[in-house]
Amino acid sequence: MTGFVDGLRDRLRRLFQRHGSVDLKPFRRIVATAGGDADAVAGWSDTRLTEAADGLRTAVREAVEQQEAGRAKGGKKRKGATHPEFTDAQASEFCAIGREAADRALGLRPFDVQLVGTLALLSGHVVEMSTGEGKTLAGALAAAGYALQGRRVHVLSVNDYLARRDAEWMAPACRLLGVTVGWVNEGSTPEERRAAYEADITYAAVSELGFDVLRDRLCTEADDVVVRAPDVVIVDEADSVLVDEAKVPLVLAGARGAGVADQEMTKVVRRLRLGRHYEVDQDERNVFLTDAGTAEVERALGGVDLYSEEHVGSTLTRVNIALHAHALLHRDVDYIVRDGRVQLINASRGRVALLQRWPDGLQAAVEAKEGLAVSESGDVLDEITVQALISRYPTLCGMTGTAMPAAEQLYEFYRASIAVIPPNEPCIRVDRPDQLFQTRQAKESAIVAEISARHAEGRPVLVGTQDVAESERLAALLAEAEVPCVVLNAKNDAEEAAIIADAGAHERVTVSTQMAGRGTDIKLGGRDGEGRDRIVELGGLCVVGTARHPSRRLDQQLRGRAGRQGDPGDSVFFASAEDDLIGQHAPEAAERLASDEDGRLTGRDAQQVFDHAQRVAEGVGLEIHRNTWRYTSLVSHQRGLVSERRDELLRTDLASQQAAERHPERHADLVEEIGEDAVEHAARLIALYHLDDRWADHLAYLADLRESIHLRSLARENPLDEFHRAAIPAFREILTEAADKAAETFETATITSDGVDLDAEGLRRPSATWTYLINDNPFGSEADRAMRGVRAMIGGSTTKSPRRKKQATD
């Protein structure tokens, strides 16, 4: 009975809890008190301001020491404070001196709402602040507050540009508070990285931090480790990083040799035709050979039987990879070709993902498709998802303009609550009703007409497109209409700051791919703001969306570029029944919609279909996220156990102790011959090699296991249960096998005062390593295959299957 009641209570809590219901009243009271101290603090010298901040640091340290002493005597930690570290009085003092420091060092005096956001961050919440409301400054002050509490702080951005910009921009205010700031980017040397992570606050792109964590896992000397233990993380664009990027694995690979392109299969699949030889499912996640396609491939390969025992495990796989690259990965949508290389496009940001690639076979297939040199291949040495990386931190907080639509995911996966910070000035932007059309052609004609009309008025227009190909197609249509425009997409993203800075200028039309993570506000009148008054009179920035996104958050992020800080502006979205969102998530419903002679869809039913398709897309995305985390959470736990053992081997004499226990006589002889330090070092190198080698083998095993585990569902078994049933026993053998191998090597290896030559013993570490991101399960996991059922549950749609087809992703 108790279990039933608890379960009912949990369901009711999930049904009625508002994840954005963080009470701001305590923070407002603290900020109001700080406002009363403003005049006094304004009279302080810079030195006194720094001394006051140092006084807060000392007070917190003494309080911690007292708490630790109290716990040692059986006391209990004080509970119920408004802030977990600062008292209310200390938090008020911090707000006062932080505001003054920002004003003096940056010329930016935080509004009360920014300080409320700062306190919400210091309380471990994700704050929602509208575009242009000063999230960067609020985050910097929160980072300084954590640093004064004796915490190590990592501020994570979505790219290197923003990490460096924010660090250099905010550093003067932090220095005035006695807090040091560092930053890392792709070009930072190991020494620069180590120095940056030693600072009180470190700014970094989330990928760079992850890669540093992975590289540290290969260090054989404790002094080579660059990233200190995780403590506090503040995530900028939190919904993008914690939700959209959460399941993306960051990979550390070791050189195996030159990649090989399957030119034969590339030539074969080029002959195949969609609809006759192969079919693509409505989600464009999987591609299938038809009977005619199978016969054509078998004929082209000399009459083989693709599904014979001889070819099903090799030849068919090669065909599937080449067909996937040919049919599902599109130039200027999924990737671009630049500087002789295939560069992937981050779908959620419309920018080139410089460090992203597909698994080796698929990467080579795309390169062969484009006639390019094949990049180097390698073995995966370690990998970690963004979600697992962030989950390492005891304290997580973040900031974004669109947290509430992601509240469920943020709470479910991170137990993060949302604090919605009101704007300093009310938003007066007008969001016009969607303009819906039957065909894409009718929609694009209407878009060009809308842009032309606004351009004729002299208003700046920002056009948000879905991909590179659409941005260039629309630019060509505007050119035909004699409307000049500037295009910002993955092909010229290096110029984005300059392009966005002038997007608010008179008569400027900017056509861009995804705006999330661009990091630059659009100021009316252009970068110098001289023409602001004129643009205000005209009605401000007009934002035009060329299609509804798979998530309401992305729609809101685009809309939020207009109406910043009380500016006028408006937004309107155009959509058609031929858009991918409808084709994938509500195709049958769209077929029943009627249009007028201009191709426009009218009536409430049309809007309901588009809203419904978006809800289905969000539900599908959430279920994929859930399923991915169910698998990777086990791997993350196992990685943590291996990391603990590795750290112990790296920083203690554990390896030497184990060698002495297994081979006491040899250990004693070596100690007498070359000294205890030399023996300890050699034993450490041997033990670390075998532990790393076994972990890499385990990752390869798990990858193969996950690729095939969905077949268990055919036997009415739960794939996740079966994955755990196989993965857990396999992991139990790792530490034991690594120790056994280390003992064998210690017994037979040549160990001198110069150490041990692992290469000579046949234990060669990778000669080179590199890092990249991959699209998790690009061929579709069991989660992707289950999505048809999920979509049927959420959206009531079904997919008809061809009479006979072979799945290219199995």
Same domain, 767 and 661: yes
Strands (E), 517-637: 541-545, 569-576
611 within some domain: no
Which residue carries 């997580």 as its tokens?
Answer: 396
The top-scoring range by mean pLDDT among 299-308, 727-736, 756-765 is 727-736
Residue 1 has pLDDT above 90, yes or no: no
Q: Is 741 annotated as a binding residue?
A: no
Same domain, 392 and 464: no
HSE value, Cβ hemisphere, 13 Å, CA-based, for 330: 10
Give me the pLDDT at residue 364, please. Answer: 83
Least confident residue range of 77-81, 282-286, 769-773 = 77-81
C-alpha to C-alpha distance for 243 and 238, rounded to whole angstroms: 8
C-alpha to C-alpha distance for 654 and 687, rounded to whole angstroms: 9
- The number of folded domains in the chain is 4
Burial class (CB in 10 A: 0-12, 13-18, 19+), 793: exposed
Same domain, 463 and 596: yes
Note whether 593 and 601 are within 8 A (CB): yes
Strands (E), 438-506: 461-464, 486-488
Q: Is 134 annotated as a binding residue?
A: yes
Q: Is 371 annotated as a binding residue?
A: no
DSSP state of 331: B
Give me the pLDDT at residue 62, please. Answer: 86
DSSP state of 240: I
SS (H, E, C) 330-346: CECCCEEEECCEEEEEE
C-alpha to C-alpha distance for 279 and 295, rounded to whole angstroms: 15
Same domain, 415 and 533: no
Give me the pLDDT at residue 787, please. Answer: 35
> Please, which residues have CB within 8 angstroms of residue 611's CB and are 6 or more apart in sequence?
none
More confident residue, 288 or 84: 288
> Please, which residues have CB within 8 angstroms of residue 583's CB and are 6 or more apart in sequence?
282, 590
| Interval 733-762 mean pLDDT | 92
Same domain, 205 and 68: yes
**In CATH, what number is assigned to the domain containing residue 291?**
3.90.1440.10
Tell me the per-residue pLDDT of 450-505, one tens digit each, with 9 for 90 and over: 999 999 999 999 999 988 788 889 999 999 999 999 988 756 555 777 788 889 99
Nearest to 220 by CA among 638, 636, 655: 655
What's the mean pLDDT when you consider all of the chain? 85
Q: Is the dihedral of CA 423, 428, 429, 432 positive or negative?
A: positive
C-alpha to C-alpha distance for 231 and 85, rounded to whole angstroms: 14
Same domain, 48 and 186: yes
C-alpha to C-alpha distance for 749 and 58, rounded to whole angstroms: 53
Give me the pLDDT at residue 100, please. Answer: 97
810 within some domain: no
Same domain, 395 and 439: no
Note whether 90 and 56 are within 8 A (CB): yes
| Interval 397-407 mean pLDDT | 92
SS (H, E, C) 661-710: HHCHHHHHHHHHHHCHHHHHHHHHHHHHHHHHHHHHHHHHHHHHHHHHHH
Q: Which tokens sit at 189?
A: 């040397």
Burial class (CB in 10 A: 0-12, 13-18, 19+), 487: buried
Q: Is 583 annotated as a binding residue?
A: no
C-alpha to C-alpha distance for 458 and 535, rounded to whole angstroms: 8
- Side by side, the strands of the sheet bearing 351-352 are 335-338, 341-346, 351-352
Q: How confident is the model at residue 76 (pLDDT cuts 50, 70, 90)?
A: low
Give me the pLDDT at residue 788, please. Answer: 36
Q: Is 555 annotated as a binding residue?
A: no
Same domain, 398 and 507: no
C-alpha to C-alpha distance for 711 and 715, rounded to whole angstroms: 8
Same domain, 242 and 338: no
Same domain, 586 and 655: no
Same domain, 450 and 369: no
Give me the pLDDT at residue 81, please. Answer: 39
8 within some domain: no
| Interval 132-150 mean pLDDT | 95
Residue 4 has pLDDT above 70, yes or no: no
CA distances from 35 to 14, 30, 31, 94, 669 (A): 38, 9, 6, 11, 72
Tell me the residue range of the domain where 787 lies. 624-792
**In CATH, what number is assigned to the domain containing residue 700?**
1.10.3060.10
Length, in residues, of the chain:
810
**In CATH, what number is assigned to the domain containing residue 169?**
3.40.50.300
| Interval 715-722 mean pLDDT | 76
Q: Which tokens sit at 321?
A: 């990879």
Note whether 158 and 205 are within 8 A (CB): yes
Note whether 212 and 162 are within 8 A (CB): no
Q: Please state the separation of Cα 545 from the chain's center in Å.
A: 23
Share of the chain above pLDDT 70, in %: 84
618 within some domain: no
Share of the chain above pLDDT 90, in %: 54
Residue 220 has pLDDT above 70, yes or no: yes
C-alpha to C-alpha distance for 627 and 781, rounded to whole angstroms: 10
Indicate the pTM of the whole model.
0.83
| Interval 85-96 mean pLDDT | 94
42 within some domain: yes
Q: Is 621 annotated as a binding residue?
A: no
More confident residue, 74 or 236: 236
| Interval 556-565 mean pLDDT | 90
Note whether 148 and 201 are within 8 A (CB): no
Q: Is 806 annotated as a binding residue?
A: no
Same domain, 747 and 663: yes
Tell me the per-residue pLDDT of 536-553, one tens digit each, with 9 for 90 and over: 999 999 999 999 999 999
